[in-house]
Amino acid sequence: MLNEFLYGKIHRVTVTEANLEYVGSITIDKALLDASGIKPNQKVEILNINNGERFSTYVIEGRENSGTICLNGAAARKAQVKDKIIIVAYALLDEKEQLTFKPKIAHVDENNKLINIK
């Protein structure tokens, strides 16, 4: 049996841009993607701490160490610049994988710079 589990998480990043004119997605600093294990084009769920919005979109890789967290297209309506969000990705794991799998959780500072990975 497969069950859905947390795969990767970027915890409490700050939205730096909202680009309504783009086609869609979220642009994320490459360093944060690498730290969390989240991949470009992967589906992610966005949890907005400021307003309680929860929505899904896909990832575009941003410039490494830029601190970029940019909501694009329709997603730009779900958060304001400076909102704190949590970005999560899930994976389907079989019963054996469930016993040992550990998600990567990236923690950042107020400038979206990586502090640690848990």
List, by residue number, the catalytic residues.
25, 58
Which element (helix H / strand E) includes 34? helix 30-36
Structure tokens, 31: 């360093």
Neighbouring residues of 28: CB distance < 8 A, sequence distance ≥ 6:
10, 38, 59, 60, 61, 62, 68, 69, 87
Alpha-carbon distance 55 to 47, whole Å? Answer: 7
